[in-house]
A and B are shown apart, each in its own frame.
Chain A
Amino acid sequence: MAREGRAAEPVTLRERAASGPGPGRPRGSDPAGARAARGSWRRFASSPVAVVGLVLTVLFVLVAALTSVIAPTDPFSFAGTPFEPPSAKHWLGTDDLGRDVGAGVVHGARTSLFVGVAVAGASLVIGTVVGGVAGFAGGKVDDLLMRLTELSQVLPRFFLALTVVALFGPGLTNMVLVLALTSWELTARVSRSGVLAVRELEYVTAAEALGSSPWRNLRTHVLPNTIAPVVALASLQVGGAILIEASLSFLGLGDPNVISWGYMLNNAQSFVRRAWWMSVFPGLAIAVAVLGVNLLGDALNDFWNPRSRSGGASA
């Protein structure tokens, strides 16, 4: 049903404070929520894709988190003689300068995870805000924000990243900024369409009938009920960001002061025949990490997609 008079009204701080708990606040021991969570976990864990994705992702995150325990040495330091094949001392061998490939792979996980999470997180925030506001406010605001989104969509990410690195010099921060600013458009679209669907539902109207302001409605009812596919999408974006970072580093445009899988591959390309381990292990690491987060994202997407929920028998 078309509605008028829905234009967003300004919200004062006092009203914000008076209007109850926000969606993200922890609820303590809410039995209903806990019960729902248990049931959801069983359903989630029943999918093999979900389990594999989750295991690989956890592995990836653990390696990145425990870098200093697993490989305490500086990956740039010389650990042995050049081109040592994998052995008990250097599990994954050494590179052309005698640096430990294993240490590089482990420290590279940290770099990749940082880039992936930073980019996906930024696009989650920007996309949700832009899409949420566009969908909820509608009208001219919606038109303006969606034109902006389209503008971001037509910017070629990879070449923009190349240009920025060429202009401002290689650096992890620059790269994350460029990728974040060019990757939120899909999130914004998904978020907007979710908001458009949910805001017409009767429970939103019901809250409005109870006296709830539009902003309170957006915060407590609309966004929490549309966030699921957006989070699933963010998980997929982690993988995309990791790949782009690796590609740029492979082309020698990565941050030279930070070890990364792409940098290691770049270094390895001249020695593919002589020292296969230099390229195989970083390559495997990229594949496993991206596969893990992508499977997890797919599984989350399926899990939250109402159409994929199995219904019981009806009479």
Chain B
Amino acid sequence: MGSAPANGPAAAAEPALLEVTDLVKHYRIRSRQLARSGLSLRAVDGVSFRVGAGETLGLVGESGGGKTTVGLSVLRLVQPSGGTVSFEGRDVLAAGRVELKALRQRMQIVFQDPIGALDPRKSVGDSVAEGLRIQGLAPRAEARRRAVEVLDRVGLTPAQARSLPHELSGGQLQRVGIARALVLDPRLVVCDEPVSALDVSIQAQIINLLLDLQDERGLAYLFIAHDLALVQHISDRVAVMYLGRIVESAPAGELFGSPAHPYTRALLSAVPADHPSAARQRMVLRGEIPSASAPMTGCPFAPRCPDAMAKCSDEAPQFKEISPGRWAACFLND
């Protein structure tokens, strides 16, 4: 994989809010049989992208693609094995304890499982206030007051602020998760599948809330999801991940209008139809995502690719700009 940032040179002119270069995360394999082979799981294998201020980068792909690991690595909630993460010009991965704590005030995360992301023993107001207390930004009473304010902004009443997590619905809890991130007034919020655990009618409420907050506060989002329609709706740019690599990156409209990588095409075609008349023709991929531990030469998608050529399994295609602002790693674009 090349180290060129996925947003291309056009965006490179101004410094990006977040710039990730050649990010790698290997996990040692715990299983005894496999450990002897010296293999490691390459969850993220050379990922580069940038997110500008106030911009939304959508990161899509199927499970096992490494999306979540990328999100956690950006905040250094997992320690990457290689590469750099630069936020507001500062090196996140080299930051000391004090600097990292300060950085985490500027970038936040919203998790997928709204109930699992909240301490079951604390009132949701206390959970929201916790960030202010940790960062030493407000004394306790002040922190509580500001928590109630932010909760009010995301649509929860002061009475609900005193609730325990199990007393609220999934949609309400996800609002709490967003409030907890917002209370520190971050510039970047990593949203890791923020609505996939929610009901359809509630998903739309949360998406609208995220869009409104972005307008109000100029937030940038790294929006991680498997739902393509959703990512397309909320993102300015979209990067598609497969087996730990970004295979294609483009402005949202272009990516969905004319996908350049066969995996993107397969993903788009696998999305359930948005009308029954569109249903009955599609490209169905064979097989499932292989485990990322198998040593790979060539393109990771080649074994499932309907357009695979002989050289695809021998040689990995470069991730390069195929037209202004559009990047892909596929020989078909040569």
Which residues does A use to contact B, with CB under 8 Å?
A: 1-5, 9, 18-21, 30-33, 35-36, 201-203, 205-213, 216, 221, 224-225
Contact = CB atoms under 8 A, between A and B. Distances in A.
Given A202-B112, A205-B117, A207-B134, 10 more contacts: A20-B130, A20-B133, A21-B140, A31-B162, A203-B117, A205-B72, A209-B104, A211-B101, A211-B134, A225-B121
Question: 7 shortest A-B CB distances, which residue pairs?
Answer: A5-B79, A32-B123, A210-B131, A211-B101, A202-B117, A20-B133, A4-B79
Interface in B203-225: none
7 contacts: A18-B136, A30-B123, A33-B164, A208-B77, A209-B109, A210-B180, A224-B121
A210 B78 contact: no
B130 A207 contact: yes
B300 to A, nearest CB: 21
B113 A202 contact: yes
A248 to B, nearest CB: 40
B120 A225 contact: yes
Interface in B71-128: 72, 75, 77-79, 97, 100-102, 104-105, 108-109, 111-113, 116-121, 123, 127
A201 B123 contact: no
Contacts of A211: 100-102, 104-105, 131, 134-135
A221 B101 contact: no
B130 A210 contact: yes
B139 to A, nearest CB: 10
A218 to B, nearest CB: 13
Given A32-B164, A224-B121, A225-B121, A212 B134 contact: yes
A305 to B, nearest CB: 14
B333 interface: no
A15 to B, nearest CB: 9
B134 to A, nearest CB: 5
A143 to B, nearest CB: 15
Given A32-B123, A32-B162, A211-B101, A206 B134 contact: no
A32 B118 CA distance: 14
A263 B117 CA distance: 54
A206 B109 contact: yes
A224 B79 CA distance: 26
A2 B27 CA distance: 7
A202 B77 contact: no
B30 A209 contact: no
B199 to A, nearest CB: 11
A193 to B, nearest CB: 17
B97 A9 contact: yes
A294 B101 CA distance: 46
Contact of A203 (B101, B118, B162, B184): B118
Nearest to A207: B130
B119 A203 contact: yes
A191 to B, nearest CB: 17
A21 B143 CA distance: 13
